[in-house]
Amino acid sequence: MKKNLLVAQSGGPTAAINATLAGIIEAAVQAECIDTVYGAFNGIKGILEERFINLSKTINDADKLDMLSRTPAAALGSCRFKLNDIEKDDSQYKQIIEIFNKHNIGYFIYIGGNDSMDTVLKISEYCKKCSIDDIKVMGAPKTIDNDLCGIDHCPGFGSAAKYIATVFSELERESVVYDAKNVIVVEMMGRHAGWLTAAAALSQNVNGKVPYLIYLEERVFDIDRFIEDVKEKLETNTAVMVAVSEGVHDADGRFICEQGQGEVEKDVFGHSKLTGTGKILEEAIRAKIGCKVRSIELNLLQRCAAHVMSKTDIEESKNLGAFAVQYATEGVSGKMSSLVRKSSNPYEVEYTSVDISQVANHEKKVPTDWINEAGNGVNEKMLEYLKPLVQGELSSVYVDGVPQYVVLK
């Protein structure tokens, strides 16, 4: 008997999460054992509220699939919702399975990051515990933070990295326009891993000779040392580009941005909402060096920049969606579709799956030996890793001069 497939999206938006959705729809429509493809709005929250959309009907041709794969954010909406501990209260799980049965869902795919994989882990564990065998639960990865374990790199990261490298290359050209000594500080997202910030290195010395200083969360940040770094570079250069992670912290683990705003806000998963690091460094440079300085917080812009996406990233994102469907229809459950890098040059990846327990609630940090000794830059190992991920250009579909997207909600 044919079963239906349900897909939902969770966690922070990216430029590529809808490409994974498109990959899932395309593969599911072609799968013989799948009848209808449903989407749930706002992740697990929308499932509990039975807010579904028939995607087989809505995204019913190649043009719509293509436009969906080039639409930023999360077309089905997202949530930050933590399921209860199964041991303490399994009522949510009972409800989810009831809803799945009611809609004849045999395949459930959840697209998200490490918090979302917690949801996949819990539902698949509940199914196992209750010997529910006819619902296959799969994760499909995404996060611009690139901090998922069990995968070489995350869908969405390549596009965000390309955006960051592009923005740095443009700002660098700005920095040398006037003769005056100046510093441009750019703050990147990334709660506890510095992958996004490292992407600035992709543009370093591609155009001109402006020095870059790159500070990741993986190293202790010392503000006095930072000022010395900037001073030293300014001695022999007109401009300095600074890339800094929002989550840099001092030796006591205190976030630099906390110096500006007191205690930082936390979300339901206990993650700190970090912002303002760049501004604090700007003020420190102004006070202690006195040169012209600007700080720019890339903020939401870096995670939804569908106008400058990595073609490699979008293709891989689609494939990871399609592979999640394939694994599920082959009977796999409790896993996440993944990719392994076989070679960087020539770039070659192999698709696979990993146990969800390897991914859920874990974080992958930048390896210490990819950061230079001074802690203010990255080395060739990082560049070798990053370069293949930003290859090829893809952008949203422009109609009448403005991007047009698939709007589902």
Active site residues: 145
Q: Does residue number 371 form part of the binding site for its own copies (CB under 8 A)?
A: no
Q: Does residue number 342 form part of the binding site for its own copies (CB under 8 A)?
A: no
Name which position in 130, 134, 178, 374 contacts its own copies (CB under 8 A). Answer: 178
Name which position in 84, 89, 206, 374 contacts its own copies (CB under 8 A). Answer: 206
Sign of CA dihedral 365, 309, 205, 208: negative
Query: Tokens at residue 220, please?
Result: 């202790």
Size of the site for its own copies (CB under 8 A): 59
Beta bridge partners of residue 187, listed in sequence order: 244, 297
Alpha helices in 15-76 (DSSP H): 17-30, 43-48, 55-58, 62-69
* Minimum distance, C-beta of residue 126 to its own copies, in the bound complex (Å): 25
Sign of CA dihedral 29, 110, 76, 84: positive
34 three-state secondary structure: strand
Q: Does residue number 95 form part of the binding site for its own copies (CB under 8 A)?
A: no
Name which position in 64, 271, 294, 341 contacts its own copies (CB under 8 A). Answer: 294
Q: Does residue number 407 form part of the binding site for its own copies (CB under 8 A)?
A: yes
Name which position in 130, 220, 287, 300 contacts its own copies (CB under 8 A). Answer: 300
Q: Does residue number 202 form part of the binding site for its own copies (CB under 8 A)?
A: yes
Q: Does residue number 344 form part of the binding site for its own copies (CB under 8 A)?
A: no
Which residue reads 């490292």 in tokens? 198
Residues 6+ apart with CB under 8 A from 164: 188, 196, 197, 199, 200, 202, 243, 298, 302
Q: Which of 13, 150 has the CB closer to its own copies?
A: 13
CA distance 106 to 101: 8
Binding span for its own copies by CB under 8 A among 134-142, 305-313, 328-336, 373-381: 305-313
Name which of residues 24 to 83 contact its own copies (CB under 8 A): 42, 45, 71-74, 77-80
* Minimum distance, C-beta of residue 12 to its own copies, in the bound complex (Å): 8
Q: Does residue number 286 form part of the binding site for its own copies (CB under 8 A)?
A: no
Q: Which of 77, 113 has the CB closer to its own copies?
A: 77
Q: Does residue number 184 form part of the binding site for its own copies (CB under 8 A)?
A: yes
What are the two backbone dihedrals, phi and then psi, of residue 124, each rounded to the nearest 5 degrees? -70, -35
Name which position in 32, 61, 85, 400 contacts its own copies (CB under 8 A). Answer: 400
Binding span for its own copies by CB under 8 A among 167-175, 350-358, 362-370, 373-381: 167-175
What is the radius of gyration, based on Cα positions, of the chain? 22
Q: Does residue number 285 form part of the binding site for its own copies (CB under 8 A)?
A: no
Q: Does residue number 290 form part of the binding site for its own copies (CB under 8 A)?
A: no
E strand or H helix that includes residue 126? helix 114-129
In this structure, the dihedral spanned by the alpha carbons of residues 20, 23, 25 and 26, taken in order and rounded to 10 degrees, is 170
* Minimum distance, C-beta of residue 214 to its own copies, in the bound complex (Å): 15
CA distance 372 to 128: 46
Q: Does residue number 183 form part of the binding site for its own copies (CB under 8 A)?
A: no
319 three-state secondary structure: helix
Give the burial string for 59-76 (b: 16+ CB within 10 Å, else e): beeeeebebbbbbbbbbb
Site residues (vs its own copies, CB under 8 A): 13, 42, 45, 71-74, 77-80, 162, 165-167, 169-171, 173-174, 176-179, 184, 202-203, 206-208, 294, 296-297, 299-301, 303-308, 310, 387, 390-393, 395-396, 398, 400-405, 407, 409
